[in-house]
Amino acid sequence: MTETVATALDFLGIDRELSEEERLIRDTTRRFVEQRVLPEIAVWFERGEFPREVAKELGALGLLGMHLEGYGCAGTNAVSYGLASLELEAGDSGFRSFVSVQGSLAMFPIWKYGSDEQKREWLPRMAAGDAVGCFGLTEPDFGSNPAGMRTSARRDGSDWVLNGAKMWITNGGIADVAVVWARTDQGVRGFLVPRDTPGFATRNIDRKLSLRASVTSELVLDDCRLPGDAALPGTSGMRGPLSCLNEARFGIVWGAMGAARACFASALEYAGTRVQFGRPIAAFQLTQQKLVDMLVELSKGTLLALHLGRAKDAGTLTSQQVSLGKLSNVREALEIARSARTILGANGVTLEYPVIRHANNLESVLTYEGTSEIHTLVLGQAITGIAAFE
């Protein structure tokens, strides 16, 4: 990387706002991505596979459930978790998704709402990457409106019996335990479903052109019988799953800026070396305009992520503020990826460069964890007092 590019990547000197420990976690994650993810990612993306064995390496680095305390988790602050998410997504959104789902969507509900026994059984193994978790909320007919879910859990003696289907579940096909949200006569509750439970099956969704280095699956629950203590005792109602999504979305606010940074760096380097009409394309005003627009949005988005991270560490962050961060940073990251793609010309559509992969991945990131439309309406409600989405 040239000095000009390195300066552009932290144009505002945001690095100086980080503590030594935060920088250490950031640098360690960045090194892992450079050494372990970048050399292989095009192949994994093309083959449509997530290398399951990397889970243990992520665990050894302390990145799984890193913002949780105890049970083998690293117990870092929120900004460190955000910085790690950014670096992972600079590699590929699939890796950040794996870590988000494991830490915020599978481990967090166990940590926050689980019994001591459930925590002891699952959290240490999940923190180490020995066990993988997934989060089953979305259904074939209920995405933006998960409260309408059909999956049900009914009592049969002391057991629970679950029926229904969950769709688009990250890590589903490789999960050792699924956190499944189901309708009960006490409202929506979370259940821990180990992979080998009779009546539980997964089917991978293979033909996707986005987040290819990530496993996405359908979960099928067909008279799936669980012991009475499989339910998470600490939550009932939609508050439970929504609180988990809020945790994971916080990681996306940062992660999206990682994908954006990778695209910006690629476009800036390319523009400096690609010669047309006898000059590097970086010398043309239209190219500079694109690069500067990227610089401005990348800098603003990274500052926004840091601001929300400091608020989370101070305990003042609201879910609506997270919605603002997710909406803005994913939208701008996608814009940066598409614009970077144009600078790379035909090379931009190949896997030799990271931009089309990031652009395709960001299409999923724009949709999952609340679509951009839903976050717009959440913010609309926050400032007008009127809910426009129901």
Ligand X SMILES: Cc1cc2nc3c(=O)[nH]c(=O)nc-3n(C[C@H](O)[C@H](O)[C@H](O)COP(=O)(O)OP(=O)(O)OC[C@H]3O[C@@H](n4cnc5c(N)ncnc54)[C@H](O)[C@@H]3O)c2cc1C
Cβ–Cβ < 8 Å for 258, 90: yes
Q: Is 374 in the site for ligand X (CB under 6 A)?
A: yes
With CB under 6 A as the contact rule, the residue among 29, 76, 77, 170 that binds ligand X is 170
Nearer to ligand X, 328 or 364 (CB): 364
> Of 21, 352, 369, 373, which is the active-site residue?
369
Closest CA to 232 of 176, 185, 193, 175: 193
Q: Is 191 in the site for ligand X (CB under 6 A)?
A: no
Cβ–Cβ < 8 Å for 285, 319: no
- Both tokens assigned to 43: 């192949």
Q: Is 76 in the site for ligand X (CB under 6 A)?
A: no
Give the total residue count for the chain.
390
Closest CA to 248 of 321, 332, 322, 137: 322
Q: Is 364 in the site for ligand X (CB under 6 A)?
A: yes
Nearest distance, CB of residue 267 and ligand X, angstroms: 25
Nearest distance, CB of residue 211 and ligand X, angstroms: 4
- Both tokens assigned to 283: 């010398």
Q: Which residue is nearest to ligand X (CB)?
A: 143
β pairing state of 177-184 and 133-136:
parallel
With CB under 6 A as the contact rule, the residue among 33, 73, 162, 211 that binds ligand X is 211
Q: How many residues bind ligand X (CB under 6 A)?
A: 20
With CB under 6 A as the contact rule, the residue among 168, 191, 250, 353 that binds ligand X is 168
Q: Which stretch binds ligand X (CB under 6 A): 39-47, 110-118, 134-142, 338-346?
A: 134-142
Q: Is 329 in the site for ligand X (CB under 6 A)?
A: no
Q: Is 143 in the site for ligand X (CB under 6 A)?
A: yes
Q: Is 45 in the site for ligand X (CB under 6 A)?
A: no
Nearer to ligand X, 217 or 339 (CB): 217
- Both tokens assigned to 70: 């105890």
Cβ–Cβ < 8 Å for 68, 251: no
Nearer to ligand X, 100 or 197 (CB): 100
- Both tokens assigned to 242: 């929504």
CA distances from 1 to 42, 101, 235, 266 (A): 20, 32, 49, 10
- Both tokens assigned to 54: 């990397």
Q: Which stretch binds ligand X (CB under 6 A): 4-12, 21-29, 64-72, 370-378?
A: 370-378
- Both tokens assigned to 63: 């990145």
Distance CA 379, CA 386 (A): 10
Q: Residue 335 catalytic?
A: no
Residues of this chain that bind ligand X (CB under 6 A)? 101, 135-138, 143-144, 168-170, 211, 216, 364, 367-368, 371, 373-374, 377, 389
Q: Which residues are identified as catalytic?
A: 369
